[in-house]
Amino acid sequence: MENEKLSVSNILNSPFSFHVSEFSNITPSLISEYVDAYTSDLPPVLQELERETFVKCVNPRMLSGKLQGQFLNLICRMLKPETILEIGTFTGYSALSMAYGMPENSHLYTIEANPEQEVIIRKYIEKSGFSEQITLIIADAKIEISKFENDVFELIFLDADKINYPLYYELLMPKLKKGGVLIADNALWSGAVVSKTSTDKEVVALRTFNDLVQKDSRTQNVLLPFRDGLMCVMKLS
Rounded Cα gap, residues 19 and 151, in angstroms = 45
Kindly indicate which of the ranges 33-41, 125-133, 136-144, 203-211 contains the residues binding ligand SAM, using the contact rule CB under 6 A.
Answer: 136-144
Burial 89-122 (b: 16+ CB within 10 A, else e): bbbbbbbbbbbbbbeeebbbbbbbbeeebeebbe
Is 104 in contact with 175 (CB distance < 8 Å)? Answer: no
Among 10, 16, 26, 142, binds ligand SAM (CB under 6 A): 142
* Residue 214 is a binding residue for ligand SAM (CB under 6 A): no
Among 140, 151, 216, 228, binds ligand SAM (CB under 6 A): 140
CB hemisphere CA count around 90 (13 angstroms): 24
Residue 172 class from Cβ within 10 Å (0-12 exposed, 13-18 middle, 19+ buried)? buried
Coil, strand, or helix at residue 185?
strand
* Residue 85 is a binding residue for ligand SAM (CB under 6 A): no
x/- letters, 182..201, toward ligand SAM (CB under 6 A): --------------------
CB closer to ligand SAM, 20 vs 128: 128
Among 62, 67, 74, 192, binds ligand SAM (CB under 6 A): 62
Q: Which of residues 88-127 bind ligand SAM (CB under 6 A)?
A: 88, 90, 93-94, 111-114, 117
Coil, strand, or helix at residue 168?
helix
* Residue 128 is a binding residue for ligand SAM (CB under 6 A): no
Name beta bridge partners: 183. 157, 232
Kindly indicate which of the ranges 17-25, 30-38, 123-131, 156-164 contains the residues binding ligand SAM, using the contact rule CB under 6 A.
Answer: 156-164
CB closer to ligand SAM, 68 vs 106: 68
Q: Where on the chain is the footprint of ligand SAM (CB under 6 A)?
A: 62-64, 87-88, 90, 93-94, 111-114, 117, 140-142, 159-161
